[in-house]
Amino acid sequence: MKVFVWNRIENASNHWHPEGGVVVFAETMDRAVQLAKEAGADIRMDESPDEIRETTGNEKVYIMPDAGCC
């Protein structure tokens, strides 16, 4: 199991301010992107993770949309 961390992507959510961070625990990068998309994030192919680390545990997705000014 790995943890994939995107500090900031363009479409983390469909909120007023769509940018934000994404953290996904998954076996592979393809699976991480799939899980993120299922959770509402739209990770583009050119948005590589800022970090990938080995970990233990189950699959999990955390979407952290920017709060913005509103």
Residue 8 lies in a domain: yes
Whether 32 is covered by a domain: the verdict is: yes
Count of domains forming the chain = 1
33: domain range? 2-65
Residue 70 lies in a domain: no
Burial status of residue 4 (CB atoms within 10 A of its CB: 0-12, 13-18, 19 or more): buried
Each of the 70 residues of the chain gets a pLDDT tens digit; together they read: 999 999 999 888 877 778 889 999 999 999 999 999 999 999 988 899 999 999 999 999 999 887 766 5
Q: What does the alpha-carbon distance between residue 45 and residue 14 come to, in Å, rounded to a whole number?
A: 19
Torsion 38-41-42-43 (CA) sign: negative
pLDDT of residue 69: 63
Residue bearing tokens 């953290």: 23
Q: Is 22 a domain residue?
A: yes
